[in-house]
Amino acid sequence: MLADARQTAAKVGVNIHHKNRQFDGGDHNGIAGFDTLARTMSERYPHLLGAHGYSGATGYDENADEASERLFDYLAAGNPEPMAEDDAYEQALDQLHAMNGERGAAR
């Protein structure tokens, strides 16, 4: 999502580089076009930013500020560190056990 946001921002001329002083101040309101970028990205990634895209989109919500705040936070934090392979397997196994427990309880 972050790479897509950066590419989309570059295409439409929105400056989301960390050299932008707005990132230092923690305020996305001073970045021209950021709200439009956030709506576009929330339409693509509602599971990360919420369904705050454009009207007519599935699950549309008019509160675009939430999408802008979430996108800004993700961009300010930068790319997450990759998960270690052992941790990934452990997390997957835990999820399988949890799913199996839920299915067992439903029977």
Predicted local confidence at residue 106, as pLDDT:
46
Non-local (6+) Cβ contacts of 42 within 8 A are: 49, 50, 51, 52, 53, 64, 67, 70, 71
What's the pTM? 0.65
* The pLDDT value given to residue 107: 45
Q: How far apart are CA 104 and CA 101, in angstroms?
A: 5
pLDDT digits (tens, 9 = 90+) for 8-42: 999 998 888 766 666 666 667 778 888 889 988 98
Please, are residues 76 and 23 in contact by the beta-carbon 8 Å criterion? yes
- Domain positions in the chain are 2-82
Q: Given pLDDT bands bounded at 50, 70 and 90, which one contains residue 100?
A: confident
The pLDDT, as a whole number, for residue 24 is 64
> What does the alpha-carbon distance between residue 18 and residue 11 come to, in Å, rounded to a whole number?
17
Environment class of residue 63 by beta-carbon count within 10 Å: exposed (0-12), middle (13-18) or buried (19+)? exposed
